[in-house]
Each structure stands twice: as structure tokens, then as C-alpha cells.
Amino acid sequence: MIPIRYSKRTITDQEQIAQFLQQAKVGHLGLSNEREPYVLPLNFAWWNGCIYFHGADSGRKVEMINANSRVCFSVCEEYGTIASPVPAHVDTAYMSVFLAGTIERVQEPSEMREAMQALLDKYVPGYFSEPLPLQHVLKYRSSVGSATAIFRITPETLTAKGNPLAEEKQFYPGRKVEMDV
């Protein structure tokens, strides 16, 4: 594993990392083949220590996964800009997580249902009054007729870093350097 260069921003609190991954809305999946890298944004769920997402069962993403199961996944949330009278100290408040590992298509029906339920619970919490039926997961077809594929990324490495926002230093329109000196 390559260490985080700016180590004072490293986050090691596993509960904080899990909480971040459970609330962050968009992650970026990095794939590669012998010719080129490919990065795409995804909705995802962090469940049982893995990243889960769903999509069509064919296409460029699936072809690249089939060719190379080594992937990376990153998530970043920006919390605001930090103002400072010293231009080199103007900064961004954020948290990010980067993981690398292997990806595989989920085959076990109960894991497929649980992963899809985790996605529903994350993106539309409380919307459905009943758990997702297994038959819905197994029989669903998209508008173009493809089955839904559910993928699991099992991390081999996971790093997190962040820069918290100090409210008194947050930039807002109209804030001037004269207010901070």
C-alpha cells in the first residue's frame, strides 16, 4: 500500500470511515484493460465491508471487469472552502476514501437481494414499507431488456483522509480578507 503523503490528514477511525461511506452519494469506479483506463460515477452501498452497486449485465463496464478484476473506487465529499489571509493557506474542507481490490459479480440470490436492499435503504430510506422481494431482483429487466447485474468490490487496501471545516474560517460570498486580519 502506498502511504498517504500528507499524513496529518489521514483518517483511521473505522467508524467514521464507514459512516462516511454509508452517507456519501456518488463514488467513482476505476477500471482498466490493456489499452486504457475507464472511470465512471456510480451510486453504491457500503455493506459488510464491501462496496456494492448494480448495473446492466453487458456493455463496456462488464467487458472491462471480465478482462481485469482489479479495480479501485474513490469517494469524495467537499464541505466548503477555508478562507485565509495567506493565499497559500486557502484550502478545501473535505473527506475522501480510496480503496483498491477485486470486483466480482454477485451470484448468490440472497446476497443480491440484501445488496439491493442496502441501496434502497441508502437512497430512499423508509420509502418502501416492505423489504425488496427476491423475485423482483431475479426477474427485473431494464427498459432495453437487460438483466440487472450486482457487483461486489472487496477492498484489499482502504485509505481515508480529510480536512475538517472550521465554521469560523468558511468562505462565503462577500467575505473579504480585511475581515480576517
pLDDT at 4 over 70: no
Per the listing, cell 461486489 goes with 152
What does the angle CA 121 – CA 150 – CA 96 come to, to the nearest 5 degrees?
65
* Beta-bridge mates of residue 54: 150
- Do 106 and 115 contact (CB within 8 A), yes or no? yes
- Do 154 and 105 contact (CB within 8 A), yes or no? no
For the structural domain made of 7-165+175-180, what CATH number should be given?
2.30.110.10
User: For 73-95, what is the mean pLDDT?
Assistant: 95
> What is this structure's pTM?
0.89
What's the mean pLDDT when you consider all of the chain?
92
- Phi, psi (rounded to 5 degrees) for 125: -60, 130
